[in-house]
Amino acid sequence: MPGILGKKIGMTRIIADDGRVIPLTVVQCEPNMVVQVKTEEKDGYPAVVLGFDALKRPSKNRKFRHLREFRVSDDSLKTGDSVKVDQFESGEKVKISSISKGKGFQGVIKRHNFARGPETHGSHHHREPGSIGACARPGRVHKGKKMPGRMGSDRKTVKAEIVYLDLEKNLLGIKGGVAGAKGSLIIIRKLK
């Protein structure tokens, strides 16, 4: 299986045998259920759809809060099978995807690390972005200009390493920080 879905619990640290302090993000990966198996003949590509976080009151069409599709090369999984954290090993490299925390509408200093203007001597330019346009030609603001706007709530993907594994409690410890708030969905994929 190429991956699993989990929920971010928070951050902690572990101390290695040589005395190094390793920060890690703890992800709760309850067993995912295979909801659908896609085949080359029927769908055009082989894949499995995993369901995570079962609803307390499932409806006829919806049984899980989160559904995600993973491409597979083999067809060993069947509908109703469960995918657990035992597929991973400590020290394995993985790819982590999640949605970062939303910051709302922000100015250029916070959003793009612009510098402040002078605070004294009659200056009225403190936190403004400054000039944004060129001259009469082109007579417009170029696309992609760094301006104030909505910040955060983006899909972030990073490569990381698994440094802690608890098979009984279905916990994964990922080295370093992972984007997203506590309780947010984390998608963990094996590197090919």
Residue-wise pLDDT for 87-143, tens only, equals: 999 999 999 999 999 999 999 999 999 999 999 999 999 999 999 988 898 999 999
Longest dimension (CA), the chain: 74
The upper half-sphere exposure of residue 95, i.e. CA atoms within 13 Å in the direction of its Cβ, equals: 10
How many Å apart are CA 21 and CA 130, to the nearest integer?
43
- Looking at the predicted structure, is the pLDDT value of residue 192 above 80? no
d(CA 182, CA 12): 13
65: nearest Cα among 52, 84, 83: 52
Tell me how long the chain is.
192
Cα separation, 88 vs 94, in Å, equals 9
Distance CA 176, CA 98 (A): 14
Nearest alpha carbon to residue 26 among 93, 96, 99, 82: 96
Taken in order of first residue, the domains within the chain and their CATH numbers are: 3-55+63-106+146-190 (2.40.30.10)
Nearest Cα to Cα of residue 102 among 154, 174, 160: 154
Give tens-digit pLDDT for 132-177. Answer: 988 898 999 999 999 999 999 999 999 999 999 999 999 999 999 9
Confidence of residue 2 (pLDDT cuts 50, 70, 90): confident
Beta strands in the chain (DSSP E): 3-15, 21-28, 32-38, 47-54, 64-71, 82-83, 93-99, 102-106, 149-152, 155-166, 171-175, 185-190
DSSP H or E stretch at residue 60: none
pLDDT at site 133: 85
DSSP single-letter state for residue 57: S
Q: Is pTM beyond 0.85 here?
A: yes
